[in-house]
């Protein structure tokens, strides 16, 4: 029988962590644990490494720290054996490229899953041997089905046992009463949008804004991210699939200083004293106040590596609490599209791959309990329609997001009805799991000034209509008087 293991891959993973430190550890710690290894010595060494990085913030590891962790874990007798000591020493000399560490980790994780599944199916086979022949077909099938369902829980480290709804209820009610908040999620700087989606960007959710090309989805995501970082001092990471750091910086500076993007990127702002002062004042604010806003260009980066970037950012710059959840932060993902064609094959269509990516982002937000704002590009139906059918990609995107909002250009008729002063864009909350959304036909007015990278929220359509009706009644009353 072929063994479900790869000894060389196990050694490569441990060597990669020993040689590249915390970065390599963070790349693999979400998919492996000590039980992923099949050799006893490898299990012990990984336990020591895992213990070390969980107790300290150092980015490196050495032989001494491994043995120190062994002492703390009560493994000194085993770790002091000659063969173990030689094995530990060899890990720091084994040739391994940094980019291959996660690949080998994924390989041994798959073998671990296969071993667990084999054991689970063997147990199901033993149960089938005990059948008496009086069972129904459904009862027989349930033996195999329950085996698979139980296996799913075995590979999930979270406690997913059902919880009695009344358990700790009074304490929870007291906690809510003693800790009132204005809204549940992070305020975006767009109050009407926050209200429609149920109180801002909530932890453990993916909020999606969709738009056609060049309508302003990057501008609104930048405005929201910078508001959260600058006003709330909450760390924000912008994962940008299109713009370089310089392009994004030019837009951010223009938006925040009310200057033209062109003046900033050409350096001509310096020729205008008032503009020069605005830009330099903003630059000093960003540096002096240490605004926690980070940008990372991920164009062409495989999705697995994107996840590693987000994970490292959370651990290194945001930090985790005692339960492994992230401290307050937010991630902008601009925007959902395929950049790694390896996700596609003869059996996987593009819309399925996009749905898969959304599913992983959702699980990531739940695991670290953070809000993610993701942008998508609408299909051609998005030109005229305003429903979930305009999502370019997959229905699964709609299933997994907490809310979905469309950003559109207003028609000439809408601009005329609302007034030019009330903007040239509109936000249409289509679905909201936690919020009330908006009444049919209503929308949030927005004004986009693309040359300055700005987009501002205004009143809703129905608010403007009510104000217009009130003004008409007042005018009629004055005429009658």
Among candidates 409, 421, 411, which has minimal Cα distance to 464?
421
CB 18 within 8 A of CB 92: yes
pLDDT value at residue 159: 46
pLDDT at position 30 over 70:
yes
pLDDT value at residue 387: 62
Global pTM value: 0.74
Q: What is the DSSP string of 460-479?
A: EHHHHHHHHHHHHHHHHHHH
Across 54-70, average pLDDT: 84
* Model confidence pLDDT, tens digit, residues 396-412: 677 788 999 999 999 99
CB 10 within 8 A of CB 39: yes
Distance of CA 273 to the CA centre of its chain: 41
Among candidates 416, 409, 352, 357, which has minimal Cα distance to 382?
409
pLDDT value at residue 348: 53
Percent of the chain at pLDDT above 90?
59
User: Quick one: pLDDT band at residue 355, thresholds 50, 70, 90?
Assistant: confident
Cα–Cα distance list, 235 to 147, 185, 364, 370, 396 (Å): 43, 15, 17, 11, 28
Percent of the chain at pLDDT above 70?
86
* Model confidence pLDDT, tens digit, residues 427-467: 999 989 998 889 989 999 999 999 999 999 999 999 999 99
* Model confidence pLDDT, tens digit, residues 217-255: 999 999 999 999 999 999 999 999 989 999 999 999 999
Cα–Cα distance list, 325 to 47, 223, 246, 293, 473 (Å): 21, 26, 32, 20, 55
Structure tokens at 190: 């767009």
Query: How far apart, in whole angstroms, are the C-alpha atoms of residue 122 and residue 132?
Result: 19
Whole-number average pLDDT of the chain: 86
Across 90-110, average pLDDT: 93
pLDDT value at residue 136: 74
* Model confidence pLDDT, tens digit, residues 148-192: 655 654 555 444 457 788 889 999 999 999 999 888 999 999 999
Tracing tokens 């089938």 back to the chain, one arrives at 128
Query: Which alpha helices (DSSP H) does 129-190 contain, by range?
Result: 137-154, 169-178
17-19-21-25 Cα dihedral, nearest 10 degrees? -10
User: Quick one: pLDDT band at residue 55, thresholds 50, 70, 90?
Assistant: confident
């Amino acid at each position: 029988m072929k063994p479900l293991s790869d000894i060389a891959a196990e050694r490569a993973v441990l060597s990669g962590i020993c040689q590249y430190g915390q970065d390599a550890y963070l790349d693999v710690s979400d998919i492996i644990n000590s039980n992923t290894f099949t050799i006893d010595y490898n299990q012990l060494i990984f336990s020591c490494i895992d213990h070390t990085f969980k107790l300290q913030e150092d980015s490196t590891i050495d032989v001494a720290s491994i043995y120190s962790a062994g002492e703390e874990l009560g493994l000194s007798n085993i770790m002091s054996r000659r063969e173990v000591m030689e094995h530990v020493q060899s890990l720091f000399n084994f040739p391994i490229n940094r980019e291959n560490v996660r690949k080998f980790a994924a390989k041994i994780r798959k073998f671990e899953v296969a071993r667990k599944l084999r054991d689970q199916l063997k147990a199901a086979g033993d149960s089938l041997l005990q059948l008496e022949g009086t069972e129904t077909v459904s009862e027989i099938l349930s033996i195999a089905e329950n085996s698979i369902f139980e296996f799913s829980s075995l590979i999930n480290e979270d406690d997913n046992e059902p919880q009695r709804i009344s358990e700790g209820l009074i304490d929870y009610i007291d906690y809510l009463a003693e800790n009132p908040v204005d809204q549940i999620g992070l305020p975006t700087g767009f109050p009407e949008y926050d209200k429609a989606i149920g109180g801002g960007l909530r932890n453990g959710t993916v909020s999606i804004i969709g738009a056609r090309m060049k309508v302003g989805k990057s501008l609104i995501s930048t405005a929201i991210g910078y508001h959260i970082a600058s006003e709330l001092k909450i760390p924000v990471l912008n994962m940008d699939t299109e713009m370089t750091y310089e392009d994004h910086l030019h837009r951010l500076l223009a938006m925040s200083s009310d200057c033209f993007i062109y003046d900033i990127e050409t350096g001509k702002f310096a020729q205008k004293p008032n503009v020069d002062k605005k830009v330099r004042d903003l630059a000093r604010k960003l540096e002096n106040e240490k605004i926690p806003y980070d940008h990372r260009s991920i164009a062409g980066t495989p999705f697995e590596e994107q996840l590693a970037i987000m994970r490292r950012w959370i651990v290194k710059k945001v930090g985790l609490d005692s339960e492994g959840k992230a401290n307050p932060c937010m991630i902008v993902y601009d925007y959902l599209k395929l950049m790694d064609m390896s996700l596609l094959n003869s059996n996987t269509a593009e819309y399925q791959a996009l749905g898969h990516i959304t599913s992983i982002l959702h699980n990531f937000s739940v695991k670290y309990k953070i809000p993610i704002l993701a942008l998508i590009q609408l299909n051609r139906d998005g030109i005229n329609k305003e429903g979930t059918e305009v999502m370019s990609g997959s229905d699964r995107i709609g299933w997994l997001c907490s809310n979905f909002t469309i950003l559109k250009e207003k028609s000439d008729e809408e601009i005329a009805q609302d007034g030019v002063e009330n903007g040239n864009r509109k936000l249409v909350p289509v679905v909201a799991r936690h919020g009330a959304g908006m009444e049919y036909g209503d929308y949030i007015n927005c004004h986009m000034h693309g040359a300055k990278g700005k987009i501002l929220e205004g009143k809703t359509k129905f608010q403007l209509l009510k104000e217009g009706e009130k003004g008409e009644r007042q005018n009629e009353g004055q005429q009658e008087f």
